[in-house]
Structure formats: structure tokens, C-alpha cells
A and B are shown apart, each in its own frame.
Chain A
Amino acid sequence: MNLATFIQHFLNSLTLGSLYALIAIGYTMVYGILRLINFAHSEIFMLGAYLVFWGITLFHLPWPLAIVASIILVAGMGIMVDRIAYRPLRDAPRISALISAIGVSFFLQNVAIVFFQAIPREVYRPEWLENPIIFHGVRVLPLTLFVPVLSLLLMLGLVYVVYHTKAGLGMRAISKDIETSYLMGVSVNQVIALTFGIGSALAAASGIMWALRYPQLQPIMGTIPGFKAFIAAVFGGIGSIQGAVIGGLTLGFIEIMTVAFFPDLAGYRDAFAFILLIAILLVKPTGLLGVKMEDKV
């Protein structure tokens, strides 16, 4: 493998990794607060992508407007999902909410099949994104540069919200101890709604970039990236935003690089994440940056 190909692989890994990271953040934030694997998150990702192209083709919206509209709609949808399917189950056993989440996931996926049909659709990409940039023999799509940079900006924005705003303080408080947060006057339900909103918006952003990068839309497009991003969140230490980013990037690199160096394993590409998951759960169930919670006897 020569240097140019390696750089291409490197940039591809970075792109894929940042997309995983953006989805993983939503999983990790919700899990951190509610101890719930939000299965519906992968459908939020898918809907984010669909809505943009719907907006463009059906309502002839200009690109930026379609993107903004889609992100807002999808963020609202994330909040709705919480309101309807999870909030009534806050006091129920944890698995009840998880089953509800699985139900919502299948529901949204099949609603998408009803509306958009199951067949994959080509995604139209603006021309300036189509033409690869060639630099010293390294061929890169503009998107490959664009995605990591934009993702980084979004993550910085998120870090600002979580660590420098009152709402962020609320999120951190709830993730430490939801009961006490109630008592301390944190408007828990609002903060949770905000968490779902932000997580969903990031997933939508990731979904849109995903659809541009791998130009195809289909209702089940969220399932596999969703699982993988959740695994990335577990790998990084669930509940930790930094962990989600590290996990996402790690997974991106593992997938692209393993296939690059061992092309024979290409068929197993989707299995890497699950193997990584089982491995991390066995070695360090709390993930890289996770904190161990003592079992109380």
C-alpha cells in the first residue's frame, strides 16, 4: 500500500468515524440520563436523511433550508418519541422502556417503508461535492474533508452546551442522580426533552452527511449504523460524550483499515463492531472512559 492510498483510507476512516461519533453522542446522552438504549435513534438518523431529499424534490426547497428544516423536524420527532413512548415508562422496570424503544424503532422504520417504499433511492449530490480533489496523487471527495470538519464543529458546539450552559448543567446533574435532580428543582422533563432534541439533531446531521457520502436512501439504512454507533458509545464508555467520539472514530478506523489491509475479511465488515462490543463488555464493561458503578448489597 502506498502513501497516497493510505491517506485516502485514513481520510475515509475519519469520515466514517465522525459519522458514527455523531450518532453515538445521541445514544450516550440518552443512556447517560435514562439508562435507556434508544433504539429509535437509528430511525431518527434515517428520517433526517429522507426529509432533506423530500424537501428538495417535493417542495423544491434550497439545500440549506431543506437541511435546517429536516434537522428541526427530526429533533422535534426525537422529543415526541420520548414524550409518547418513554416518559410514561420512567417508573417502570428499565427493560419496559427498552422494549418500547424497539417497538418505536420498528414503527418508524415501517412508516418510512409505507411512505418512501422499501426500494433504495439514489441521492442527488450537488456538483461541487461530486468532483474529487486530486492533491499529490491523493484522490479525495470534498465530502471526505468536509464531514470531519463539520462534525468537529458540531461536537464543539455540543461541548459548549453541556459544559457552559444552565441546561447542560441540568443534563449533567440528571445523569449523576435523577432523583436528587428532581428535588433540587431541575426541570427534569424539559432537560430530558432537550437531550433528545440535541441527540436527534446530531443524528439527523449525521444521516444527511451519510446520505451524501454513500449516496443512497433506504428505510433500513439506519439500522446497521445505529447499532454500530451504539457499540461505539459502549466502547468509549456509555454516558461519556468524549467516549462516544473516541468510540466512533475507533470503530471507523477499525472497519476501513481492517478491510484495507485484509481484503479477504470484507464480507465480515459488519461483524467487526459486534465482535468489538463483546470484547469490550468482557474486558472492561464500563468502556474506555466509563466509571464503574458499585453494586449495592
Chain B
Amino acid sequence: MSIILETTGLTMRFGGLAAVTDFSASIPKGSITGLIGPNGAGKTTCFNMITGFYRPTQGQVFFQGQELTGKSPHCVCRAGIARTFQNIRLFGHETALENVLIGAFVRQKTGWIQSVLMTPASRREENQLRDQAMELLDVVGLANIAQEKAKSLPYGAQRRLEIARALATQPSFLLLDEPAAGMNPQESLELMDFIRTIRTRFDLTILLIEHDMKVVMGVCEHMWVLDYGLTIAEGCPEAIQSNPKVIEAYLGEEYVRHA
């Protein structure tokens, strides 16, 4: 399998504090990979370094053979990496449909001058984008509330809308930051299915941060475990479950309690 994303020795220091040290991962194309670890382990910091929100103190990010280190977030997205946020960041005053359309903007070819002049090309494209956006909303099951304001949607719908919006940027790589946060077991189960579905349907590679062990173990084929910014383990779910270091650092209480 070919590697789609590779990080080498990613390190992020804030002042003297090392949030992430030497994070090296290679993610095969088409896989679903998990990034787990206790609170404050540096998972979101890794996301922020990959997506260009933080410039890593050290290390590099390669995506499809192209170096992305230190590129600004919009360039990273343009290159084909999309993300969601831990604390849902939708465009609250816009409708669900508009949120998805905004995601599609990065792939839009006709510019604002053409929109103002109402050229046929621009009209055609905006209609096309609208259709595609509706399709995406349908995929996440929000087509019936396309005209609702994003901030008025229920929590679960907001999560799904955020994913739809990320998909609208036509990524080949999707980062999900705690997609199951605040969901009940039933919803989490549906989410797992959903993640697998979109992987196949949109030909994606997915990296997700998750606290919900059931989700991680159920959906991920491979995972990295962070603790205090250090990568303490990597491997398939079974290997991670039995890794003593992981059990000690993170799974410890939880796993024991479940067992």
C-alpha cells in the first residue's frame, strides 16, 4: 500500500513546554487510523501541525510526496487535507447548505467578478455546486434541514454537518477531531458505520482522534498512542489493547474496568 501522509519527527514546543515530541507516522492510503491518548497528550496539536495551524518547531509533513511543513491552513486544504474541530466550528449564522457551499469554494473555478456579471459559466457552476452540496447533505442525512441556520441545529446534526462541510472541499485525506464526542453508544455505533461508508464512497484516508474506545477499536485499522507528547505505541487495535505501556498510560483504568 502506498503511503499518503508521512510525518517525520514532528515536534511542537510552546515556550519551554513540549506539547508533542518527535511524532513520526506514515499513513497508508485508504486506511482509517486512530490517534489516541489521555487528555493533553498532544493529539490536537498533531492535527494542528499537519493542517498548518501550527508551524512545527521541528520535523516535516509530507502529503502525497509533497512537503507541506509550515504551509498555511488554506494551502493544506487545497492540497487535499480536510479537518473537523473538537469543539465544532460551524458558520453559525449560515444555513446548513451554505456551510457546505463554503466548503466547496476552494474548488470553485469562477470568481467573484463572474458572479457579479452573472456570466453563464458562473451560474452553471453555482448551480452545480448547489446540487453537489445537497447531495453531500443527503449523505450525512441533513438534506431535509438544508435551509436551517447551522447554530440552530441539534448537536449530532452539527457534527455531521461539519463532516459534510469538510467533504465539500474534496479531500483525499480527512482528519476528524473527536467525532464521537458527546454521542450516546447508539450514535457512536452509527458513526462508525458512517465513517466506513464515506471512506469507500469518497475514496478517503481517515485519521481520527477519539476518546471513545469502542469507536477507536471498532473502526481503526491502525493507531498511534500519545502520552505527554510522546508516541508510546503504534500498531493494530489488538496489539494496542495488549500493550502494557498503553494500558499503564491510558487504557489502564478504563480497559480494566471494561474487562
Contacts and interface: CB of A to CB of B under 8 A. Distances in A.
Contacts, number: 6
Interface string A279-297: 0000000000000001001
B112 interface: no
Contacts of B53: 297
A96 to B, nearest CB: 16
B110 interface: no
Contacts of A294: 14
A294 B44 CA distance: 15
A116 B129 CA distance: 62
A294 B14 CA distance: 9
A26 B168 CA distance: 49
Contacts of B44: 297
B14 A297 contact: no
B48 interface: yes
Contacts of B14: 294
Contacts of B54: 297
A35 to B, nearest CB: 21
Interface in A249-297: 294, 297
Contacts of B48: 297
A80 to B, nearest CB: 35
B56 to A, nearest CB: 14
Nearest to A296: B87
A297 B85 CA distance: 8
Interface in B51-67: 53-54
A295 to B, nearest CB: 8
Interface string B7-35: 00000001000000000000000000000
A294 B53 CA distance: 12
B50 to A, nearest CB: 12
A162 to B, nearest CB: 25
Interface in B37-82: 44, 48, 53-54
Nearest to A292: B15
B163 to A, nearest CB: 18
Interface in B141-196: none
Interface in A145-180: none
B52 to A, nearest CB: 10
6 contacts: A294-B14, A297-B44, A297-B48, A297-B53, A297-B54, A297-B85
Interface of A: 294, 297
